[in-house]
Chain A
């Protein structure tokens, strides 16, 4: 965007925001700003590098601080400003910043989920940058759009089931390998007065964590193009795998905490960490918080068995912490240097060790994972995996709608699978207006 266009856009958005502010308050969203120090030693690259993210987990914040500190040691003339905001209003803040000419240099977020930023021409195509070759080939498609690379994934997450080994041992339970076995474990726990699974559907995080674990394994492999097809107008009732997953989810809800509709993910994690429940269905990103709540917890992890034949199961995996470079960044050199820095093997190994996540960079191995993560790393290496972010997912209005209908299904017991499909189809059709 040239300067004139930037100014015009800035004025235009200010006008839009002001008009909207007259209708409702609380419009402007702010972020917490953490300013780094700069060093006086001379280097070739200098400038103010602005990074924005919505990370909240203690382990990830520490990993980011460490990475920024390491970068500043090597590039002392680059001043790094790291701005954090909540996930709830992250997209709003990013869009406001871009539209008002105050775009950061590096944005945290998945290329597929934030594809609207890419299609609107705000993210730089980094396909030709040398450090892109460091990204593991198996996950490169996760950061590609129309064949071009737009993001740097630092790690991979898996959607799994974490369980309390002590509770399992107390009731003589074994890791389930089929869906029937999983339900039998839930039933046994319930019969013994223990809530089987923790969940908190007040926020979309837990909604996604549960449903994505159930759907994005083996069921997803039968309907990889579901997102594009649904956006294109295909009815959601045309996916037996989706219906099967929704049915399983409804059945599992019977074994989840009774206050699941009114608590959030944090409290669900606390319930599991404190031993109030035997299991929690969640992404590996949640392990840091769980271990933080109970560092001495005797936990393990296993693949959610969606199928009745063990070998048919697949573990949902996807790139997790991803960074994108803003197009026409005023500090492009520093931003590229930061991208190069974070894809180095030693830097990435430290990131993954701190965050307890699987690396998305070729040749990086971590041997200091906590026990549950070791279980998952082993499963991901040995079992069938479903990389659900490789093809595509929803963004913009479709993403919001998808989550809203899923959350509605989670908190409204009377909604059937047919109701879900009808509602989703209706809202996707309405999104075309």
Chain B
């Protein structure tokens, strides 16, 4: 009996073994190996690396230059998570009813997602430059106060379609009799949304919010292509800050230290938010 249980466990484990080996080889082992650089002053090119102990870690905790990229990243993340989810849900509710041309509309809203991040950045740089100037509106990318919001809008434009599809799938799972019962009970739109829709689509929130939370925290592409972190450091994200130290600045040791610590912070935030959402899902 015990042998059978062990055998069954091994058989089950064998199914995930190939993926586990691949994950270990591609992600975990390099990640752990990378930690060694945090104790060096390696420039990324030299054959020699000098051991510097915990100097890089001490520097991180005294590095005031980190404040701006942290604030920028938080702003981008908060704006994109809120707007993408609200807009995605609103659009999903709008297109959840069947009418003529609805599929074309869904395709149009979803279409930006198939465009690459680089192309989206390049396209919006033109929109901000040429189209906005026709309207007499200055490009948000050249103003310190609006640069990060300009980048966030690129992300919102691209990603809202995906949020719409996810929420639409969740909305399809809400039993229609629940709405009918709510209507009979005299519930208005807001009450139906709050007491019927939201509880039933809670798993979609658990998926969508951490998804764009992680995307916001690791935002790099829009900054790299559209602003290079400028004006000044106004649109420098944490990922771009790390990139600068790993490549242009020739300070792999320090860049890697920030990367490792930031990864730990990101994992922590994602974990906390996911747990909170799951807990809320059960309560609802």
Which residues of A are interface residues toward B (Cβ below 8 A)? 1, 5, 9, 11-20, 22-27, 91-92, 95, 98-99, 116-117, 120-122, 202, 204, 258-259, 261-263, 396-397, 399-400, 404-405, 407-408, 411-412, 423, 430-431, 433
Residues of A within 8 A of B27 (CB): 18, 22
Residues of A within 8 A of B42 (CB): 12
Residues of B within 8 A of A404 (CB): 228-230, 232
Across the interface, do A18 and B133 meet the contact criterion of CB distance under 8 Å? no
The SS class assigned to the B binding surface is: helix
Number of interface residues of B (CB under 8 A): 64
Docked complex Cα distance between A22 and B228 (Å):
20
Question: B residues 223-244 with Cβ under 8 Å of A?
Answer: 224, 228-232, 237-240, 242-244
Across the interface, do B249 and A396 meet the contact criterion of CB distance under 8 Å? yes
Docked complex Cα distance between A418 and B218 (Å):
35
Across the interface, do B220 and A24 meet the contact criterion of CB distance under 8 Å? yes
Q: Which of B219, B230, B247, B254 contacts A411 (CB 8 A)?
A: B230
Residues of A within 8 A of B196 (CB): none
The SS class assigned to the A binding surface is: helix
Select from chain A the residue with minimum beta-carbon distance to B228: A404
Across the interface, do B218 and A20 meet the contact criterion of CB distance under 8 Å? no
Stretch at the interface among B32-40, B162-170, B172-180, B198-206: B32-40
Residues of A within 8 A of B26 (CB): 18
Q: Which of A11, A92, A423 contacts B33 (CB 8 A)?
A: A11
Across the interface, do B125 and A20 meet the contact criterion of CB distance under 8 Å? no
Using A400-B248, A408-B232, A411-B230 as known contacts, say yes or no to A19 and B45 having CB atoms under 8 A apart: no
Select from chain B the residue with minimum beta-carbon distance to A20: B259
Residues of A within 8 A of B260 (CB): 19
Q: Which of A11, A20, A259, A399 contacts B246 (CB 8 A)?
A: A20
Residues of B within 8 A of A116 (CB): 43, 45, 250
- Can you give 9 A-B contacts (C-beta < 8 A)? A15-B33, A15-B34, A24-B243, A26-B224, A116-B45, A122-B45, A261-B142, A408-B232, A433-B254
Residues of A within 8 A of B221 (CB): 24-26
Q: How far is the CB of B22 from chain A (nearest CB, A)?
A: 13
Across the interface, do A261 and B65 meet the contact criterion of CB distance under 8 Å? no
Across the interface, do B142 and A411 meet the contact criterion of CB distance under 8 Å? yes
Q: How far is the CB of B126 from chain A (nearest CB, A)?
A: 9
Q: Across the A-B interface, give the 5 residue pairs with the lowest CB-CB distance, nearest first.
A: A24-B239, A18-B30, A24-B220, A15-B33, A19-B34
Q: Max chain B CB contacts within 10 Å: which of A23, A397, A433?
A: A23
Q: Which of B46, B142, B231, B254 contacts A121 (CB 8 A)?
A: B46
Across the interface, do B256 and A19 meet the contact criterion of CB distance under 8 Å? yes
Q: Which of B30, B45, B232 contacts A117 (CB 8 A)?
A: B45
Docked complex Cα distance between A430 and B59 (Å):
11
Q: Mask for B35-58, Cβ within 8 A of A = 1, else 0? A: 111000011111101000000000
Q: Which of B118, B139, B220, B255 contacts A261 (CB 8 A)?
A: B139
B117 at the interface (CB under 8 A from A): yes
Q: Which of A99, A399, A408, A431 contacts B44 (CB 8 A)?
A: A99
Docked complex Cα distance between A12 and B26 (Å):
13
Docked complex Cα distance between A285 and B63 (Å):
40
Using A14-B30, A26-B224, A121-B46 as known contacts, say yes or no to A19 and B141 having CB atoms under 8 A apart: no
Using A397-B250, A404-B228 as known contacts, say yes or no to A262 and B139 having CB atoms under 8 A apart: yes
With A405-B232, A407-B230 given, name 10 new contacts (CB 8 A).
Answer: A15-B37, A19-B35, A19-B260, A20-B246, A24-B219, A26-B118, A27-B220, A92-B248, A397-B250, A412-B144
